[in-house]
């Protein structure tokens, strides 16, 4: 189930980054025409990196140590 959640998060994050990023940079004009300018490939965002840390921590034990989690998130 965690992998399904990560997949959904990644898809939603990618959608948000492409469309809402365009909206923030260029305003609403490109949206009705569904025009997206080419952008460099990004493999993941900080949201995905942090979610991977949380999933890894859950996989390694049933209790998450807050200090360890904070350190791992800072390193992600």
Total domain count, the chain: 1
Span 6-43, pLDDT tens digits: 888 888 887 777 777 777 788 887 777 777 777 777 77
Token pair 């948000």: residue: 16
**Domain range enclosing 28:** 2-75
Q: Given this model, what pLDDT does residue 48 score?
A: 86
Alpha carbon 47 to its chain centroid, in Å, reads: 4
Give the span between the Cα atoms of 69 and 42, in whole angstroms. 25
| Residue 43 or residue 65, greater confidence | 65
Give the span between the Cα atoms of 17 and 42, in whole angstroms. 10
């Amino acid at each position: 189930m965690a992998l399904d959640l990560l997949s959904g998060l990644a898809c939603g994050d990618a959608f948000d980054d492409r469309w809402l990023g365009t909206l923030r940079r260029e305003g609403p004009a490109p949206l009705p025409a569904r025009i997206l300018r080419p952008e460099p490939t990004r493999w993941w965002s900080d949201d995905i990196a942090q979610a991977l840390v949380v999933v890894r921590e859950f996989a390694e034990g049933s209790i998450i140590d807050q200090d360890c989690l904070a350190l791992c998130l800072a390193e992600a």
